[in-house]
A and B are shown apart, each in its own frame.
Chain A
């Protein structure tokens, strides 16, 4: 499939193209979210360890040569390899995805402050996988795909702090050509802001918190959650992000705008430092992994995005997962009788799945409906975020906390995890279901122009609960009204309809 080009990184940033450039920067941050979440939802984070052990033992026993004592110890070791890596991979990918959401909000705040509100739905409409960051040099394809070394290699290209050479183009290996990274785009934006938009800026709604000393202080953003926690080999909790690795910034002038972009670059794209690990490709056209010693990846001082060295940069996190992935894949391949390392904890999902794949005759009806519901809630999340940029602080807080947070943590996540339980045929292969992250056209769904987005979502919920009651029937039970029915009611024109949920007796 030919990649769909998302947008072009411009050669220069000026007041004439500033609004468009900011939309492109928003598109860039937004695109990473379904990319990373697609991979996140492919991972089985917490499988039954006894079942896994039994499976490994059986595979080892079928291979000739090993003693019973050897294989029981080995099965235990391999079990822990799998469980720790799977949970760690999911936690680190989620920690990066959460920071990308912060980055998107920061860029939205900058655009709002200087030229006007962000348009997320238009990006959602054109974001089709596979995609490419057109203008990024070298161009590379981005898939919505399951966890694999190839997918992690793509993540490394997205987050690369410095220009890299395209392994697929032999010319570029021979010539010195000027390349651009996402970080360089942000540097260009900062320069344009400094020169042309000193501020102060007009007071427009932004996603931010008033100061901690304010009586109105109600923060929106949290870097960590149980989903960014993983457990080490001793089952001690480890945290994917540091305690204070970033904050929402209110944009009032050039200084605050530049500071917000510095925060984006420090955490992720464009974190250029001395003595940092870089992206280099080997003869197999795959990234060269870092050394793994006693199960630990060897980092450099510049791989951290904070002085206390609590948190690795996005690039370093993915390089760690990639390096460990290579290490374990080779380890498992050397041992007789075992399957591919990733196959033990990654659902076999097709790359870049489409709603149309699930509408084929013979595919379970629940799969098509679950996918449609997933798309509807993802588009609705973006609509709710847009609405925050038109609302007073109270409304904004309610929409963001009870709408966006609830949707990300419970609704989208619930569908993303449960949809894996379906299987379908594509060509000669059978795959597990996956979210498609396609645009949901609330204005024209099924020819209906009268129902609000929330009404359409609730309609899909009822339809899915009826089509597959064993898996989804719980959604329409009265005691579960805190989930879907309690979503804020946001209209396509960004109005937030008054909604007062009933208080139980």
Chain B
């Protein structure tokens, strides 16, 4: 693994960085193309700074509508990085992708400032567990999903490990594709909550 530059900007996940060379590896050419989170924290109320809260696992319906957009320290919900498998657990958007909503919020913020944003390196649905392990040179079996005391989120009960992985991937795939289709409704639900 090549040297990783010290992060300049602290952000919660792949594709949510503001500037060039501010992803985990420092090699991204543009905003929105950062390869991984530059902060790592397990959950609700334990983030260090503004904009470092992930979302989906603990928090209010309102907080879940603004993943990584929290105003202040300790006001983020949930762990960073945000894997593709993470789903919102509370409110009308429960069961849908946290990463996709965070990405959409990021794009809205950039657009509001008339700033460009590039495509996320791991694709439109967010980083998988395998992506993060490969990027960080970790054991492929390492589980980056935090707050695991409620059972692994990226799992199935199949007896055969290969079948288990395939079943889990298929289930996550269904969730992220469904979330992409429902994004207009997800944003509308948040709009209702915010007003």
List residues of A whose CB falls within 8 A of some B CB: 45-46, 49, 53, 72, 76, 79-80, 83-84, 87, 90-91, 212-213, 217, 219-231, 233-237, 239, 243, 401-402, 405-406, 409-410, 413, 417, 482-483, 486, 501, 503-504
Binds A, one of B16-24, B90-98, B108-116, B125-133: B90-98
B155, closest chain A residue (CB)? A235
Q: Is the CB of B73 within 8 A of A503?
A: yes
- Lowest 10 CB-CB distances: which A-B pairs, in order? A226-B57, A46-B151, A224-B90, A406-B45, A482-B46, A222-B60, A225-B58, A219-B60, A235-B156, A226-B150
B94 touches A243 (CB 8 A): yes
Cβ–Cβ contact A230 & B151, under 8 A: yes
Q: Is B9 at the interface (CB under 8 A from chain A)?
A: no
Give B175 Cβ to nearest chain A Cβ, in Å. 9
A236 touching B171 in the complex, CB below 8 Å, given contacts A227-B150, A228-B89, A229-B150: yes
Chain B residues contacting A221 (CB-CB under 8 Å) are 60
Contact A235 B89 (CB under 8 A): no
B149 and A402 contacting across the interface, CB-CB below 8 Å:
no
B58, B60, B74, B151: the one within 8 Å of A402 (CB): B74
Closest CB-CB distance, B81 to chain A, in whole Å?
Answer: 16
Which A residues touch B153, using CB under 8 A?
Answer: 226, 237
Q: Are B91 and A501 in contact (CB under 8 A)?
A: no
State the CA gap A220–B63 with chains docked (Å). Answer: 10
A87 near B74: Cβ-Cβ < 8 Å: no
**What residues of chain B lie closer than 8 Å to A401, measured between beta carbons?**
45, 74-75
B69 to chain A, nearest CB (A): 14
Nearest CB in chain A: distance from B12 CB, A: 15
B94 touches A483 (CB 8 A): no
Structural contact, B171 and A235, CB atoms closer than 8 A: yes
10 other A-B residue contacts (CB within 8 Å) besides A235-B167, A402-B45:
A45-B149, A79-B157, A212-B194, A222-B59, A224-B89, A225-B59, A230-B150, A235-B155, A239-B95, A417-B149
Assuming A53-B159, A213-B195, A504-B49, is B74 touching A223 (CB within 8 A)?
no
Closest to B50 in A: A503
Contact check: which of A49, A236, A239 meets B89 at CB < 8 Å?
A239
**Chain A proximity mask over B41-59: 1 for CB below 8 Å, otherwise 0:** 1011111110000001111
* B49 and chain A: residue at smallest CB distance: A503
Q: Across the interface, do A486 and B74 meet the contact criterion of CB distance under 8 Å?
A: yes
Write out the residue numbers on chain B whose beta carbons fall within 8 Å of the beta carbon of A229.
89, 150-151
Contact of B193 with A by CB under 8 A: yes
Over the window 153-167 of chain B, the binary record of Cβ atoms lying under 8 Å from chain A Cβ atoms (1 yes, 0 no) is 101110100000001
